[in-house]
Amino acid sequence: MTVSKAFNYFCFLVLFFIVNALFSVNSHAQQRDMAQPAKGKSPDLVVAQQPSTTQPSNNVIVLNVADIADQANKFVVNIQSTTEDGGTSYGSGFFVEENGLIVTNYHVIREAIKTSGAITIITTDGGSYSASVKGYDDSTDLALLEIKDKTLFTYAKLGDSDGVKVGEWVVAVGSPFGLDHTVTLGIISAKGRSGLDGEYDDYLQTDAAINFGNSGGPLVNVKGEVIGINTLVLAKGQGLGFAIPVNILKEILPQLRDIGRVKRSYLAVETTDISITTAKSLGIPQGIRGIRVAKVERDTPAAKAGLRRDDVITAVNGSPINSTGQFNRLISRIPPGTKVELKIRREEREFVVTAELIEKKPSVEKK
């Protein structure tokens, strides 16, 4: 080997060991950083809220389920009520005022209302109280109970369900199958689910486990705020639970508390959501949203306004309509006697009709 070749070989070895040493140091540093928890943070699940841009963000939320559950259990109650056959129905609820007002699902205490049966509230500390029905609304499946006691109860903070985003963490608390104060964790799977149970449907969908007996219990966000009322589950599937958005409760709570029922306006028209197949059959261009008129009764506000079967309602007073549930809720909030403008599409033509709303008669439970 010549002197030149030996020198080149020596330089190659030196360069090789330098590169290898640098790579080893960097690798150990990365492993050390990954193994070391963030300073000041507990080892709970850390959820990083990703920004919409590529800019770095320090907005990090620690999801401490134990703390959320501990906070929620203070205002969550177990509800036991008498059924028509003399048995006991189990459900859940939560305090909304310190003076003993409790929200639950109407279907939890429906049979007790029919039979004037007893309703018993069990609090997290084992206290047992007799409750009466302050008000109920079968259209939204919500009810307000009252405990007449001098005790001041811890009550829930109501959040904003309109601001909830799909993918957010949520905790469900309730008494499935009588197992009181059971806590499950999940996310918001979808919003605005309708066509499941009633004319005002606008459910939050979650994969947090909800079972029979959870009805009436709260769906809580990471701040410990109630954003929904757990109501139903599709038994044929898994992870398909549904909660009434808390903003619906906030709208009707004053009426339930003050007069025991909810006054609503309506048009007396039956509508359905529009599927892709229906849109094609009605000649609705792609991108146009609305609901289909399925039935119009005689001598009703809808009939007097000139609505017909298969008309497509696309807007009310300029507000776009996307679903039957949204349409029913929008109409129900407007005072009876008010005239509203309905933008409709009929046989590829669009025009506006005016209808005068009337008050919807409340349903009466038969005993």
Residues marked active site are found at: 107, 141, 215
Q: ∠ CA 214-142-367 to the nearest 5 degrees? A: 100
Backbone phi and psi for residue 325, each to the nearest 5 degrees, phi listed first: -60, -45
Cα radius of gyration (the chain): 29
Query: What token pair was written down for 96?
Result: 């909304």
CA 268 – CA 302 distance, rounded (Å): 6
